Amino acid sequence: MSLNRLSRRSLLAGGVGALAGGQLLRPSTFRESFDADPSVSTDEWLLPGRSPARRNHVPVTGGTELSVAWDRSFDGGSGYRVVVADGRAIVPVTDDAVYAVEVADGSTAWRARPRPESGYGVALGGEHICCSTGDGFYVLGPSGNSKWWLPGYNYRTVESAGFLSTFLPVGSTLFTVGRRGLEARDMASGLRHWVGARPDGSRLTTNPLAFADGTLYCAGGRYGKQPFVAVDPEDGSQQWATAAFEYENRQLAVDGDTLLATGETEAGGRIQAFAVDDGALRWQRATATGLLGPTVADGLVVCASEGGRLHAFDRTSGEQRWTVGRQAAADELVRTDNHLYIHSPRGVEVRDPSTGERRALHELEGTDPNGFAYASGHLFALRDDRLFALEVVDGA
């Protein structure tokens, strides 16, 4: 039917109706309500550091007796990180795909290839899988089906060692850094909740590093002099900021009323403790080489250093409890209530967290430790192009 055959009233009514319909069906209609509940079960290891508090601690006893339940290799480049939930281990393999592996036997549950160069870390939140590539940020469903993606959000990472985290999933909310600065998005729809702002209304350009007890903790810039910032996750407003500190990279972990910052400086490494209420500096210690992400439990902070050493500090006073020399060759750490597990080029060591004394060493093939997680009664060690599942005999 020609438009000329329609009455003016019809055309105008149709136009206004279509415009009204366009407003009613705005994309934000499909967004779910804000939710940043970080609670996880002891069977889940949702991201490097396990939970958004990034303490690398699992509240189980653990054990010294380890046995390889299974191992499997991947095609393509080496895996980067491993996370575990719902009985499956998720591994992004560089230049290949994202794999979901059954915890029970190592078989492949599914394989997803959002883009061939996937491999910049993986994390889980709100029953979704986040993975970043060189050409965008992808969110997959629990069966590996593609849900949505953000073009232009390239090279986002959730790593906490050697990088500065640029996204952090918490419950069904994704915190990340966009073109306008820190932002929160709905995990299910990908739509934005808010863009962060400083008290003066200016943009809050800072990276989400940790989350605990309803507060998001951030730091700006991988290099240079930047403050640590606490942000209200409901609306993105800045709650407080510390003084600016020089770091070359930095990680955060939250334990009770203490915010712990570790990283590398021009002179070596540093660990700082701040009050979570107002960002007041409680103590700080310097080390000879840069410190990696800490494990925190029972008032004890244990960090591996880039020099392959282990350092243990009292969480309250900052007093150094013990140090293990270069022979530790430590790379990644996992803490249970009674044991400290270290993923090193030789394999997996078990140490006494209160003294640093070695209790056991389980040697593994491969030399390049890439990912480490403890979930479902197993330690998962990703090294070179292989994933090892080590059964832990609890209490042994």
Interacting residues toward other proteins by CB under 8 A = 3-9, 11-12, 14-30, 136, 146-152, 189-192
Distances (CA, A) of 49 to 61, 123, 251: 18, 10, 10
Minimum distance, C-beta of residue 13 to other proteins, in the bound complex (Å): 9
Instruction: Give the residue with the Cβ less far from other proteins, 146 or 355.
Output: 146
What SS3 string covers 364-391? Answer: CCCCCEEEEEEECCEEEEEECCEEEEEE
Whose Cβ is closer to other proteins: residue 69's or residue 150's? 150
Measured from the CB atom, is 188 or 310 closer to other proteins? 188
- Spatial distance between the Cα atoms of 260 and 6, rounded to a whole number of angstroms: 70
Please say which residue, 56 or 133, places its beta carbon nearer to other proteins.
133
Minimum Å gap between C-beta 151 and other proteins is 6
Between 136 and 221, CB nearer to other proteins = 136
Smallest distance, other proteins to C-beta of residue 30, A: 7
Q: For residues 322 and 312, is the Cβ–Cβ distance under 8 A?
A: yes
> Rounded to whole angstroms, what are the CA distances from 168 to 7, 23, 129?
55, 31, 12
Nearer to other proteins, 27 or 224 (CB): 27
CB of 192 to other proteins, least distance (A): 8
Q: Which residues contact 247 (CB under 8 A, 6 or more apart)?
A: 219, 223, 224, 226, 261, 263, 264, 265, 270
What distance separates the 2 farthest-apart alpha carbons in the chain? 90
DSSP letter for each residue of 251-320: EEEEETTEEEEEEE-SSSEEEEEEETTT--EEEEEEESS-B---EEETTEEEEEBTTS-EEEEETTT--E
Minimum distance, C-beta of residue 392 to other proteins, in the bound complex (Å): 39
Q: How far is the CB of 160 from other proteins (least distance, A)?
A: 26
| CB 193, min distance to other proteins, A | 13
Concatenated DSSP letters of 101-124:
EETTT--EEEEE-SSTT--S-EEE
Closest distance between other proteins and the C-beta of residue 12, in Å?
Answer: 5
Cross-strand pairs, 343: 332, 348
Cβ contact 281:274 at 8 Å: yes
| Of residues 11 and 286, the one with the C-beta less far from other proteins | 11
Q: Which is nearer to other proteins, 16 or 286 (CB)?
A: 16
